[in-house]
Amino acid sequence: MTIADTSLPGARVRFGVFARLREVFALVFRRRPGIFIGFSLLLFLGLPMALGAAAIGVLEFSDPEQALSNTNTEGTIAAIGGFLALVIWLVGAGVLTLAGCDEMAGQRRSLGTYFRQTIRRLHVIFILGLLASLAVMAGFFLIGFVGLWAAAVYSVFMPALLWEGAGWGALGRSRRLTKEYRWPIMGLIFLIYLAFIALFVLVSLTIGTVPEENETAFIIASLIPIVLQVLFIPIFCALPPVVHARLRSLKEGDSSAELRSVFE
C-alpha cells in the first residue's frame, strides 16, 4: 500500500481508477504481451479466419454447383460456426483471466494449466456468463448507466470462478467484492470503452481518406478496424484480474498464497 492509499481510521481507501487503468495497459502491453496480444491475435483472429476458410472450402467442395444453397446446409454450417466462435471466446477469456490473475499475484503458470482449468469449468462459465450478460443488457435496455452498474457488479466473476474456485457462487462472490467500489469500477469500464470508441472513430475517419483506387492500401486500411477490435479484447480481459487484485488487497489483504491450491 502506498502513501496515496493511506487514509484516516474509518475512511474508505480509494480504488484508484487511473492507477488501475495504467495497470490494465501495463498487463497487456508490458508484462504479458506474449499471451495477451500474441495469443489473442492467434485465437480471436487467426483461428476464426482459418475455420471460416475451411468451412467455405468444405461447402464449395461438397456443393460445387451450389445445388444445396436452398437447403439447410448453409444454416447448419453457420450454426456450427457460431458454436465454435462461442467456445473460442469462452476459452480465450478464461485463459487470459487466469494469466492476468497469476501475473497480478506474482506467479506464472503454463498455458496448458490455464486451458485445463478453463475447459474443466466451461459449462459454468457459459451459464454464469449468460446470466451476467443478461443482467447487463437488461440494464442498458432500461437505463444506460444501470447496465454499466451491472457490469461493475459482475466485473470479477471470472477471476472468482476460475482463479479462486468459487464455482456456482462466483456471481455472489463478485457482488460482495465489488460492494462499496462499484462507482469507480464503472468509471474504469467507461474510460476503456471511451478510448475504444474514440480510437475506432479516428481510424474510421482515416480510412475514409484512403483512395479506393489504391487497392492494397485500401485493403490494409479496411483491416485496421478488425485488428483494433481484436486488440481491445485482451484489454477488456485484463480488466477483471486487475480489478479483482485491487479489491482483494483492499478488503482481504494479500491472500494469493492461499488460493494457489486451486491449481494443485
Mean pLDDT value of segment 1-6: 42
Asked whether 239 and 24 are in contact (CB, 8 A), the reply is yes
Mean pLDDT value of segment 236-252: 93
- Pull the grid cell for residue 225: 478496424
> Tell me, what's the pLDDT at 72?
59
**pLDDT at residue 8 greater than cutoff 90:** no
pLDDT band at 260 (very low <50, low <70, confident <90, very high): very low
Of 48 and 107, the one with more pLDDT = 107
- Per-residue pLDDT tens over the stretch 9-45: 455 788 999 999 999 999 999 999 888 988 887 777 7
Query: Nearest CA to 93 among 14, 164, 158?
Result: 158
For 125, 154, 243, the CA distances from 158, given in Å and listed in that order, are 7, 9, 11
Asked whether 151 and 186 are in contact (CB, 8 A), the reply is yes
Average pLDDT, the chain: 81
pLDDT band at 7 (very low <50, low <70, confident <90, very high): very low
What is d(CA 262, CA 108) in angstroms, rounded to the nearest whole number?
14
> Tell me, what's the pLDDT at 149?
94
Domain boundaries, the chain: 16-263
What is d(CA 23, CA 58) in angstroms, rounded to the nearest whole number?
44
Alpha helices of the chain — where are they, by DSSP H?
Answer: 17-26, 33, 40, 47-62, 73-104, 111-120, 122-142, 144-153, 157-158, 170-178, 182-208, 215-251, 256-259
Mean pLDDT value of segment 196-200: 84
For 103-138, b/e burial (b = at least 16 CB within 10 A) is bbbeeeeeeeebeebbeebeeebeebbeebeebbee
